[in-house]
Structure 1
Amino acid sequence: MNIKFDLSINQTQKLIMTQEMRQSIEILQLSAMELNNLIETELMENPVLEFNEVSIKNVAPNNDEDGPIKGELAQEDLSPQEPLKESIQWDDYFNSMENADYRSQAQCSTAPEDEYGFEKFTSQEKTLHEYLHLQFNMLEMELSHSEKIIGEYLIDCINDNGYLIVDMNYIVNVLDVDEASIQKMISIIQGFDPSGIGCRNIEECLLIQLRQMGYDDDEVYMDIIKHHLVELADNQFKRIAQETGLSLEEIYEFKEVIKTLEPKPGREFSGSEQISYIIPDGSIEIVNDELVVKVNEVSAPRLQINNYYKKLLKNSDKNEETKVYLEKKLDGAAFLIKSIEQRRDTIKKVITAIAESQRCFFVEGAGDLRPLILKTIAEMVDVHESTVSRAIRGKYVQTPKGTFPLKFFFKRGYAQGEEDRSSDAIKRYIRDMIDQEDKKKPLSDQKISELLQQKNLDVARRTVAKYREALLIQPSSKRKEYRQS
C-alpha cells in the first residue's frame, strides 16, 4: 500500500447563501398573516422602523395606479438629504399620550346612557355544551346530587360532533360511582336534542335516531344497523335480504331513511366556529376589457426608517457605542424594507403572468381554465421555478370569479386536438357524466375513461378514480339504485 501526501488545486463553482439571501427567500414565501407577524416583531425589536402610511400618495402621481415602485421607497428612506419633517419631540409626545387609556374610558363613561349603537350589541351563538347543560338543568329537581355530578361530567365529555368520548371504566374510577348510575345518565342525555347526542359510535347514533322515529319495534331494521351496516353502505342488498328476509325494495327504502339521519349530531353547533377569513395578497380586475393587477397594501405593508434615528446617526455628539448600535439597526431595517419590496414586486409579476395565462378563466369561468405549470410562469417572469413556488405558497388573489389560492391556477393538462384541457375541466366532464347516468346501471371508472377518450381526452382509469374521489363521488357499486320498475 502506497500512502503519500499530495497538494493540488481544483476549480469548482458553488452557490453560498448568505444570511441576507436566506432571509429574503423566507420573506418571499411568507403568507400575508405570517408577514404581518414578522413586521410586528421587527417593529418591536427595531426602533428605527415604522410604517410608511403616505408612501402611496407620494409616488402615485408619477406612476400607474397599480404599479409597484421597486426599490424606490428603500432608496428614499436611506437618502442622505435632510428630511423636511422636524424631528419628533419625544417629551411632548409622551406627555400628550400619558393616561390616554384612562381619559378614553372616562369619556366613554360620561356619554349619555340613552345613546345606543350597534357596537354596544354583540351576537353569540349558543354552543353545543351550553345547549345540553340547559336541558340538563331542567331535570335537576328529579336527580340526586350524585347523578347531577355524573350528568354534568358526561356532557363535558361530549365532543363537537356529539359523541361521548370517554370510557366507562375511566368514569367509574374518576367519579367513584357504579356503572348502573352512569348508564342511567347516559340514557337520559341520549334523549336530549339534537337527536343522537351522547352516542359512542356510529351504530348507536343511528339507533337512537331510529328509535325516536318509531323503528324500535322493528327488530329486523335494528339488526341491520347492528350487524349489516357496512354491507348496507356497500349496497349489498341481496346478501342482506337473504339474512333478514326483507325484499330488495324494503332494504333500499330503509337505506334512503338512513341517508336522512345525522351521523354527527353536534355538527350544526360547530359550523360558525370553523369560519376562517382570507386576506388576498392581490387582486385582478377587469377594466375596459383589460386585466388590471394590484397588490393588497394590507398583505404587503410598506415600511420606512424613522427620521429621528436618521438625524441621530448624523449627530456628531453621539458616542461610538451608540453609532454601532444605530448602524446595525439601520442595516437590518434597510434590508427588511428591500426584501419586502422585492416580495411585493415578485408577487405582482407572478399574478400578472397568471392573469395573462388564464385570461379566458377570468372572462368566462372554470371551464376555460387552461393547463399551467411553474416552468411557464417562471419563464414569463424570468426567475427560477423555485422562486415561483415560494411566491405562490399561501398566497391568495381576489378575482371577478371569487377569491382563489394562487396554486389553484396551476393544473395538469390533457391534450384535446389543438387545445389542452385542465384537470378541473376533466372533473367537470366526470361530474356531468355521473349526473346524467342511469342510476340502475351507473358508469364504472373504466367506462368513464372510454367516454373521455371519445372526446380525445386520454385519461387513464386510475386517474378517473382519483378525480372521482376528489369530487366526493362514490364508486359505481355504491351509486347503483335497486328500485323496482
Structure 2
Amino acid sequence: MSAMQRLELRQGQSLTMTPQLVQSIKLLQLSHAELAAYVEAELERNPLLHEGEIRADAPAPSLADFLRAKQKAQAAGARMVPGPAPARAPASSGASGTAGAAHGDIGPEMEETLARATSLTEHLEAQLDLATADPRLRRIGEHLIHNLDEAGYLTEDLTEIAARLQVSPEDVEAALRLIQTLEPSGIGARSLAECLGIQLKERDRLDPAMQALLAHLHLVARQDFAGLRKVCGVDQEDLADMLAEIRRLEPKPGLAFTPVAVDVLVPDVLIRLAPDGGLAVELNPETLPRILLNRSYYAEVAKVLRKDEDKSFLSECFQTASWLTRSLEQRSRTILKVAAEIAREQEDFFRQGVSGLRPMTLKSVAEAIGMHESTISRVAANKAIGTERGTYPMKFFFGAATGEGEHSAKAVRHRIRQLVEAEGPDHVLSDQAIAQTLQADGVQVARRTVAKYREALRIPSSAGRRRRRNPKV
C-alpha cells in the first residue's frame, strides 16, 4: 500500500507591520530637527500640504501651480507609495488640520524623502537586523544603540540598563558584544581603552604588549615613555611603533555620523511648576511642525484634471498628506502622554532637583500609560525636556534603583559628587565614610557601590584626592 499524503491545516498568529506603521514609528523617534527636515521635504514635493494657517483671503493655488509641483517632484525623483484610491474627500472650503487616528492608509517612503544623512542609530540598527534573528538580543541591542552618545560610547552602567529592561546583566553584556562587532569599528565601547582595543583586535594587533599599553593610557597622557617601556616590556623602537599605531585609530567612531553643526539641546516638552502648585506639561510650540492638508484645493483641482497620471499623482498627494498630518498629531499626543507620566513619577525632581530623582524604567512607564515598552524607548530617544532647572535629555529621567534601596542611582551619584565637592583640604571622605553619610540620610548603599559610582563619575579615590589637594602629603 502506497504512502498517503496528509493535508493539515494549522492556525497561528503573527504580527505584521505595515509600511505605514513602520514609517509612523520612525517619525516617533526622530528628533525635532530631523522631523523639521523631513516635513520641509514633504512641503516641497506635495502641493496639498500647507505650512501654517490658510488665511481666508489668501489666493488659492491654481491648476498650473499643481502641474508645476508635479513636474518638480518628478524631476527630483520623488516617489510616493501607490495605494488604493482614497475615499472621496469633503469638498467644503478650508483646511484639515493634524487630527485623526494614529496611522493613515498610506505614507511616503521616508528614506527617499528625508533630506538628511544616515544617522549613527539608523546605520547600527540596519546592521543589527542582519547580525541576529534573536528578538531578545535585538530588543536589548536597539536600546543600547539609542543610548550611545554622539561619539559612539555607552556611558551608562550595564546593571542599570538590565534593571530598566527587566533582563539579566549577562543578556545586556551579550547584546553589547554584538553591537561592538558592528561598523564603525570601536562603536559601543565604555572607555577609550576598550574603543581602541576593539579596533586593534579587528586588525589582529591586540597582543600582550598592546594590551598593557591600553591599560596604562594615563602614562601616554603624561608622556611617561620610560614607564610605558617598563609595563609593556618593549624597547624604545617598538614603543614608538605602538604609539604610532594608536594614533592611527579613531578614538570617537560615532562622530563620523554627527553633522558638523551640533544642535543646541532644544526641549520638545516643557514641564513647569504651575500657579496652583501642580506641574504644567506642554509641548514646545517652537519644535512642532505646523502643516495642514488643503482640502479645498484638492477638491478644486480634482474637478478639472483629465489625465490619468495627473489624477494618480493627486491621489497619492492626498493620501500622503492625510497620513502625515494624522501621524504628526499622533506623535505629539504620544510624546505628551509619556512626558506627563514622567512628570508624575519624577515630581520630586521638578521641585528639589537631581536629589529627588526616583527609579523609573521604560517598563513601568509603558504599563502606567498602556503603551508598548519599545514605544517608550523611541519616544525617549532624541527628545529633551525643558525644566526650570535646565534642559535634560528625556532618557535622563529613566534609571534603576541602587542595589540596596529604592533611591535612583543618578540621585545617589549626584549626592556623592556633592559630598566630595564639599570636602576640605584636611577632611577627605573615604568610600566607607561617604556610605555612612548616605545611610544617615536614609540612603541604604554599600561601600562597594559608592566606589563603583565614584569611579563612574571619574572621581579619584580618597588617597588621590588628598594628594591632589595637599601635594606635600
Report the residue type matching 2:458 in the other structure.
Answer: L
Q: Is the 8 A contact 1:353 1:381 kept in 2?
A: yes
Q: What is the distance in 2 between the residues matched to 1:274 and 1:462?
A: 41
- 1:322 paired with 2:310, answer yes
Q: Which has the larger Rg? A: 1
Distance apart, 1:327 and its partner CA: 0.7
Q: Structure 1's 428 and 228: CA in aligned 2 closer, same or farther, altered over 3 A?
A: same
Out of 355, 371, 377, the residue aligned to residue 389 of structure 1 is 377
Q: Structure 1's 425 and 302: CA in aligned 2 closer, same or farther, altered over 3 A?
A: same
Residue equivalent to 2:453: 467
Please state whether the residue corresponding to 1:414 is helix, strand or coil: coil
Q: What is the distance in 1 between the residues matched to 2:262 and 2:35?
A: 22
Out of 359, 364, 367, the residue aligned to residue 376 of structure 1 is 364
Q: Is the 8 A contact 1:415 1:457 kept in 2?
A: no
- 1:281 paired with 2:268, answer yes
Correspondence 1:146-295 to 2 at 5 A:
227=226, 276-288=263-275, 289-295=277-283
- Give the TM-score, by structure 2 length: 0.53
Report the residue type matching 2:10 in the other structure.
Answer: N
Distance apart, 1:23 and its partner CA: 0.4
Residue equivalent to 2:257: none
CA RMSD of aligned residues (A): 3.5
Please state whether the residue corresponding to 2:47 is helix, strand or coil: coil
Q: Structure 1's 396 and 230: CA in aligned 2 closer, same or farther, altered over 3 A?
A: farther
Q: Is the 8 A contact 1:284 1:355 kept in 2?
A: yes
Please state whether the residue corresponding to 2:287 is helix, strand or coil: coil
Q: Is the 8 A contact 1:416 1:455 kept in 2?
A: no
Residue equivalent to 1:300: 288
Distance apart, 1:428 and its partner CA: 2.9
Report the residue type matching 1:383 in the other structure.
Answer: M
Q: Structure 1's 228 and 435: CA in aligned 2 closer, same or farther, altered over 3 A?
A: farther
Residue equivalent to 1:93: none
Q: What is the distance in 2 between the residues matched to 1:21 and 1:341?
A: 14
Q: Structure 1's 203 and 374: CA in aligned 2 closer, same or farther, altered over 3 A?
A: closer
Post-superposition Cα deviations, 1:182-202, rounded to whole Å, max 9, x if no partner, equal xxxxxxxxxxxxxxxxxxx85
- 1:47 paired with 2:47, answer yes
Residue equivalent to 2:35: 35
Q: What is the distance in 2 between the residues matched to 1:287 and 1:367?
A: 21
Residue equivalent to 1:431: 417
Q: What is the distance in 2 between the residues matched to 1:431 and 1:368?
A: 15
Q: What is the distance in 2 between the residues matched to 1:28 and 1:305?
A: 20
Q: Structure 1's 449 and 317: CA in aligned 2 closer, same or farther, altered over 3 A?
A: closer
Residue equivalent to 1:80: 90
Q: What is the distance in 2 between the residues matched to 1:373 and 1:54?
A: 43
Please state whether the residue corresponding to 1:315 is helix, strand or coil: helix
Q: What is the distance in 1 between the residues matched to 2:4 and 2:442?
A: 68
Residue equivalent to 1:364: 352
Count of paired positions: 284
Residue equivalent to 1:15: 15
Residue equivalent to 1:25: 25
Q: What is the distance in 1 between the residues matched to 2:385 and 2:331?
A: 15
Q: What is the distance in 1 between the residues matched to 2:403 and 2:455?
A: 22
Report the residue type matching 1:29 in the other structure.
Answer: Q
Correspondence 1:100-115 to 2 at 5 A:
none
| Unmatched segments (≥5 aa) in structure 1 | 56-77, 86-200, 205-224, 232-272
Please state whether the residue corresponding to 1:404 is helix, strand or coil: strand
Post-superposition Cα deviations, 1:56-91, rounded to whole Å, max 9, x if no partner, equal xxxxxxxxxxxxxxxxxxxxxx96142159xxxxxx
Q: What is the distance in 2 between the residues matched to 1:3 and 1:460?
A: 70
Correspondence 1:90-101 to 2 at 5 A:
none
Distance apart, 1:424 and its partner CA: 2.1
Q: What is the distance in 2 between the residues matched to 1:230 and 1:388?
A: 50
Residue range with higher mean Cα deviation, 310-319 or 366-375: 310-319
Q: What is the distance in 1 between the residues matched to 2:413 and 2:361?
A: 18
Q: Is the 8 A contact 2:403 2:445 kept in 1?
A: no
Correspondence 1:447-462 to 2 at 5 A:
448-449=434-435, 452=438, 457-459=443-445
Post-superposition Cα deviations, 1:390-413, rounded to whole Å, max 9, x if no partner, equal 111110111111111111111212
Report the residue type matching 1:340 in the other structure.
Answer: L
Q: What is the distance in 1 between the residues matched to 2:305 and 2:472?
A: 98
Post-superposition Cα deviations, 1:262-286, rounded to whole Å, max 9, x if no partner, equal xxxxxxxxxxx99741221111122
Q: Structure 1's 343 and 7: CA in aligned 2 closer, same or farther, altered over 3 A?
A: same
Correspondence 1:400-415 to 2 at 5 A:
400-414=388-402
Distance apart, 1:339 and its partner CA: 0.9
Distance apart, 1:13 and its partner CA: 0.6
Residue range with higher mean Cα deviation, 275-284 or 336-345: 275-284
Please state whether the residue corresponding to 1:50 is helix, strand or coil: strand
Residue equivalent to 1:134: none
Q: Structure 1's 5 and 345: CA in aligned 2 closer, same or farther, altered over 3 A?
A: same
Distance apart, 1:300 and its partner CA: 2.2
Q: Is the 8 A contact 1:415 1:456 kept in 2?
A: no
Correspondence 1:312-351 to 2 at 5 A:
312-315=300-303, 317-351=305-339
Please state whether the residue corresponding to 1:413 is helix, strand or coil: coil
Q: Is the 8 A contact 1:309 1:326 kept in 2?
A: no
Q: Is the 8 A contact 2:270 2:385 kept in 1?
A: yes
Q: What is the distance in 2 between the residues matched to 1:42 and 1:84?
A: 20
Post-superposition Cα deviations, 1:293-342, rounded to whole Å, max 9, x if no partner, equal 11122322121123564124430553322212111111111111111110
Q: Is the 8 A contact 1:302 1:337 kept in 2?
A: no
Q: What is the distance in 1 between the residues matched to 2:439 and 2:24?
A: 47
Q: Is the 8 A contact 2:91 2:299 kept in 1?
A: no
Residue range with higher mean Cα deviation, 430-439 or 25-34: 430-439
Q: Is the 8 A contact 2:338 2:369 kept in 1?
A: yes
Please state whether the residue corresponding to 1:82 is helix, strand or coil: coil
Q: Structure 1's 4 and 36: CA in aligned 2 closer, same or farther, altered over 3 A?
A: farther
